[in-house]
């Protein structure tokens, strides 16, 4: 092993070319691959920036060549040598530095390495647990490094854009208080205050509102948020938001500013020139046409409502559902009449996952409508259906019949599944869509009360204040979501800035005056001390980066992510703690010690 000493790196492994011929350079990095011919030895040296081929030639320098025989994967090297053009026809067009190589005359071995537990130089699929256990190796792989680098560029573009537009980056507490509503909190016991707990923030929502009341006017933060809920491919318990709040604004200003921010972010990361304004759709229209509040509008297969067409129809199953207040909707899968019985069974099973109790279908053939259910319908009913669905020979009609919620969910998922199978999605497109006019509240049948669709601080539509006490479920809010390719990547709202309005909304949520005072007293007090009109938005950085890097999982764009069981295989967190630590916190758990 050699010391680094005072040796200085002159270039990285991605910048040398024919402009540097005959220069003496010093490179440092890791051995990616070695090709030892017995005589000449080639090493691909890798760093964060790229790969450069270094050469050991026994005729030029026998001692260094001898030393190079021992080099193995992931050894850490410093080399001094001359930049040489590669011999004719020996250039490697796959490498940016492929026109040159470094003829080494000094080799310092800075560190050896055990054989890595998985290969870093190939596209071999390695299990997630192994990758995460050795995340520092996983991140050396160029494709992973590229994702981390792109994430940095995104954060830098956002900071630059927002700073240039009058926003202040202000930190908010990580140790804060648990609030009702929303997700399960991560809790932190207080040592100094026995029996009391901090909560990690689900978002800095109330703090950014406090900053508006403090006159900061425009705030942003790239901030970690925490929600103790189960994980998914696009969901981690700790995640990062670009969090923003502005004073003296309405929806249009926030939308315009964030569109420009997203434009700057896409230019900086992917060199993609977006052209705002983005499309918009109301919540009601999205639910009606696509069955979801985050529709992927890169393809059709829209939901067609047949409830009125089929009211009183001869098919008992549909008719009784309609009579009980349910709905019948359908998707026309263009050209899918060729689906086999097996395909259809498969789709039915898929639909079952989302609560469908079955799935009726009709194949539109040239001479007949082929289906187990056509016989139940009159000629007029079939004609009316065909017209509503624009059914042409070769089409396949898939029905959802149940309560509105189930039909919407089932058909929305079926629509996505079909688009995937039929390859209808253009992967090159970035399809942005604002969803507006969300309902303020929704009824929770389990809790038997209304809950906030966005959060309890979202302002109701200005002209619907009266409805709040009479028909709270019908009130629209001033919330908006930004959807990208069917993923919710951001959401926000104009907030309530007057105490009376906030009290009214809390009451509609079933929070009485005393509880409101206990949990939100500081907010209510602040609202009566000169709170300006304000609103904001937050973007999910992880999901956005997942789309930008075309990753399958959110874990690929997080340097140190959690497994689906919310553990970290690298550090083995969460871990047991000592009895002493528990005692200091005055915690006396009743679980059994090992």
Partner RNA sequence: GGGGUCGUAGUUCAGUUUGGUUAGAACGCCGGCCUGUCACGCCGGAGGUCGCGAGUUCGAGUCUCGUCGGCCCCGCCA
Q: Closer to RNA at the Cβ: 36 or 253?
A: 36
State how beta strands 432-436 and 279-282 pair.
parallel
Burial of 471 (0-12, 13-18, 19+ CB in 10 A): exposed
Site for RNA in 84-113 (CB under 7 A): 86-87, 90-92, 94-95, 98, 101
Among 141, 294, 334, 555, binds RNA (CB under 7 A): 555
**525 vs 500: CA distance, rounded Å:** 11
Binding mask 210-249 for RNA (x = CB under 7 A): -----------------x-xxxxxxx--------------
Residue 226: in which H helix or E strand, if any?
strand 218-226
Stretch that binds RNA, among 40-48, 142-150, 366-374, 388-396 (CB under 7 A): 40-48
Q: Closer to RNA at the Cβ: 422 or 568?
A: 568
Site for RNA in 350-389 (CB under 7 A): 353-354
Does position 36 interact with RNA (CB under 7 A)? The reply is yes
Helices (H), 170-297: 205-213, 251-270, 283-290
Site for RNA in 261-320 (CB under 7 A): none
A 10 A CB-CB count for 82 gives 18
* Residue 147: closest CA among 272, 270, 13, 271: 270
Q: Closer to RNA at the Cβ: 326 or 540?
A: 540
Count of residues in contact with RNA, rule CB under 7 A: 69
In angstroms, the first-to-last Cα distance of the chain is: 43
Q: Closer to RNA at the Cβ: 87 or 530?
A: 87
Q: Closer to RNA at the Cβ: 227 or 334?
A: 227
Does position 570 interact with RNA (CB under 7 A)? The reply is no
Provide CB contacts within 8 A for 100, sequence distance 6+.
16, 17, 18, 20, 21, 52, 83, 84, 85, 86
Does position 409 interact with RNA (CB under 7 A)? The reply is yes
Among 26, 110, 130, 570, binds RNA (CB under 7 A): 130
Q: Closer to RNA at the Cβ: 375 or 565?
A: 565
**63 vs 539: CA distance, rounded Å:** 57
Provide CB contacts within 8 A for 99, sequence distance 6+.
17, 18, 85, 86, 91
Q: Closer to RNA at the Cβ: 239 or 434?
A: 239
DSSP 456-503: TTBPBPGGGTTHHHH-GGG-BBSEEEEEETTEEEEEEEEBP-SHHHHH
Does position 128 interact with RNA (CB under 7 A)? The reply is yes
Residues that bind RNA (CB under 7 A): 33, 35-40, 42, 44, 53, 55, 57-59, 72-73, 86-87, 90-92, 94-95, 98, 101, 115, 117-119, 121-122, 124-130, 181-184, 202-203, 205, 227, 229-235, 353-354, 409, 451-456, 553, 555, 563-565, 567, 569
């Amino acid at each position: 092993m050699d010391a680094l000493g005072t040796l200085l790196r002159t270039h990285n492994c991605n910048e040398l070319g024919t402009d540097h011929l005959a220069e003496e350079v010093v490179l440092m990095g890791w051995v990616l691959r070695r090709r030892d011919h017995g005589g000449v030895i080639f090493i691909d040296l890798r760093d964060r920036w790229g790969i450069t081929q270094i050469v050991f030639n026994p005729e030029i320098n026998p001692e260094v060549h001898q030393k190079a025989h021992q080099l193995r994967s992931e050894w850490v090297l410093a080399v001094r040598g001359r930049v040489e053009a590669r011999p004719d026809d020996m250039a490697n067009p796959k490498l940016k530095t492929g026109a040159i190589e470094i003829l080494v005359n000094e080799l310092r071995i800075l560190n050896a390495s055990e054989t890595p537990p998985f290969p870093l130089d190939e596209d071999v699929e390695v299990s997630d647990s192994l990758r995460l256990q050795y995340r520092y190796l996983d991140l050396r792989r160029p494709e992973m490094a590229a994702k981390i680098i792109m994430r940095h560029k995104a954060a830098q573009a956002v900071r630059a854009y927002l700073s240039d537009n009058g926003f202040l980056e202000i930190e908010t507490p990580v140790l804060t208080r648990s609030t009702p509503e929303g997700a399960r909190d991560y809790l932190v016991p207080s040592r100094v205050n026995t029996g009391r707990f901090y909560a990690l923030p689900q978002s800095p929502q109330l703090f950014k509102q406090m900053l508006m009341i403090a006159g900061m006017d425009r705030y942003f933060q790239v901030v970690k948020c925490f929600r103790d809920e189960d994980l998914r491919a696009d969901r981690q318990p700790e995640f990062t938001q670009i969090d923003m709040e502005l004073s003296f604004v309405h929806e249009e200003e926030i939308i315009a500013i964030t569109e420009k921010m997203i434009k700057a972010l896409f230019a900086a990361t992917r060199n993609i020139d977006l052209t705002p304004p983005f499309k918009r759709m109301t919540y009601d229209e999205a639910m009606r046409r696509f069955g979801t509040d985050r529709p992927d509008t890169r393809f059709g297969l829209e939901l067609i409502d047949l409830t009125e067409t089929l009211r009183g129809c001869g098919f008992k199953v549909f008719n009784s559902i309609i009579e009980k207040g349910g709905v019948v909707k359908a998707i026309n899968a263009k050209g899918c009449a060729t689906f086999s019985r097996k395909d259809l069974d498969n789709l039915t099973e898929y639909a079952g996952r989302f609560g469908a109790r079955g799935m009726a279908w009709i194949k539109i053939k040239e001479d007949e409508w082929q289906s187990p259910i056509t016989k139940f319908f009159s000629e007029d009913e079939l004609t009316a259906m065909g017209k509503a669905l624009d059914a042409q020979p070769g089409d396949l009609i898939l029905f959802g019949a149940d309560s509105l919620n189930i039909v919407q969910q089932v058909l929305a998922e079926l629509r996505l599944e079909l688009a995937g199978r039929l390859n209808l999605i253009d992967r090159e497109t970035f399809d942005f869509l604002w969803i507006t006019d969300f309902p303020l509240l929704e009824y929770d049948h389990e809790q038997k009360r209304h809950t906030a669709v966005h959060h309890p601080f979202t302002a109701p539509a200005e002209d619907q204040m009266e409805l709040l006490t009479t028909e709270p479920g019908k009130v629209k809010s001033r919330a908006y979501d930004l959807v990208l390719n069917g993923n919710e990547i951001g959401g926000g709202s104009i907030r309530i800035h007057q105490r009376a309005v906030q009290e009214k909304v809390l009451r509609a949520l079933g929070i009485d005056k005393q509880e409101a005072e206990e949990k939100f007293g500081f907010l209510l007090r602040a609202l009566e001390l000169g709170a300006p009109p304000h609103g904001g938005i937050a973007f999910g950085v992880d999901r956005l980066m997942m789309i930008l890097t075309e990753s399958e999982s959110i874990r690929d764009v997080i340097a140190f992510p959690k497994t689906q069981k919310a553990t970290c295989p690298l550090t083995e967190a969460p871990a047991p703690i000592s009895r002493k630590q528990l005692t200091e916190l005055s915690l006396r758990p009743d679980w059994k010690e090992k």
